[in-house]
């Protein structure tokens, strides 16, 4: 089995350890974090080493790396660590769930995290460092650029282009043949019907609380 080191020691790193261990050809052997965040030398019963010592302990000729970080700072932190790892010579592994439906002939970059129940239709291209949480639909001929984070149950219709570092919240819907500029944030439940310029923020309407309290509802 190929050997893998995971960058991170939080919830996403723990998830990455689970998925790579149970559903991939990789053996996770260690974790790494920046030295200032090294709180323990053990995580998931595996060693944790400072990133500054990674090349010495786990050289890129023998080990692959996975950056297990979230969308912090509109994906900028995950992008920064991706670039740093590539500069050190690491190949960055991708995880694609065996329970996802992926029909795009492997057009998926490095360090992608594609969870169960995603549908990726034909002629889709997915760049580097992209997270697709569970249950999304990525429509035919769409393009997801580098460093994007897509939450659960998002519908990306056909022919959509999603720019670098975008974040798309749960249950968002993107109509077909539109372009979403770099670093856009689409909140939960957003319905996007036209192009979105770079750095845009789109927030779906939240459901207001009813004036009637629950103890007055008779048919529930």
Considering the domain 2-87 in this protein, what is its CATH number?
Answer: 3.40.50.20
Q: What is the pLDDT of residue 15?
A: 98
- Per DSSP, the three-state class of 23 is coil
Residues of the chain with CATH 2.160.10.10: 94-195
Note whether 194 and 177 are within 8 A (CB).
Answer: no
Residues of the chain with CATH 3.40.50.20: 2-87
Q: What is the pLDDT of residue 204?
A: 86
The average pLDDT across 63-70 equals 98
Kindly indicate whether the domain formed by 94-195 is annotated with CATH number 2.160.10.10: yes
pLDDT digits (tens, 9 = 90+) for 86-144: 999 999 999 999 999 999 999 999 999 999 999 999 999 999 999 999 999 999 999 99
Q: What is the pLDDT of residue 74?
A: 96
Least confident of 14-23, 96-105, 208-217: 208-217
């Amino acid at each position: 089995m190929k050997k893998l080191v995971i960058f991170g020691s939080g919830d996403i790193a723990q998830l990455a350890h689970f998925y790579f261990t149970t559903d991939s050809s990789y053996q996770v052997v260690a974790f790494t974090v920046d030295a200032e965040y090294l709180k323990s030398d053990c995580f998931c019963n595996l060693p944790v080493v400072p990133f500054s010592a990674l090349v010495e302990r786990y050289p890129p000729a023998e080990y692959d790396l996975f950056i297990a970080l979230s969308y912090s700072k509109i994906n900028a932190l995950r992008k920064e660590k991706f670039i740093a790892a590539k500069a050190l010579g690491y190949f960055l592994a991708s995880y694609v769930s065996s329970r996802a439906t992926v029909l795009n002939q492997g057009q998926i970059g490095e360090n992608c995290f594609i969870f169960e129940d995603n549908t990726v239709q034909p002629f889709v291209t997915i760049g580097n460092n992209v997270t697709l949480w569970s249950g999304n639909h990525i429509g035919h001929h769409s393009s997801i650029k580098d460093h994007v984070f897509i939450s659960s149950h998002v519908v990306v219709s056909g022919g959509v282009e999603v720019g670098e570092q975008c974040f798309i919240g749960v249950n968002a819907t993107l109509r077909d043949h539109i372009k979403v500029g770099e670093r856009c944030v689409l909140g939960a439940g957003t319905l996007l019907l036209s192009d979105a310029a770079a750095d845009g923020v789109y927030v779906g309407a939240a459901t207001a609380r009813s004036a009637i309290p629950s103890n007055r509802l008779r048919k529930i």
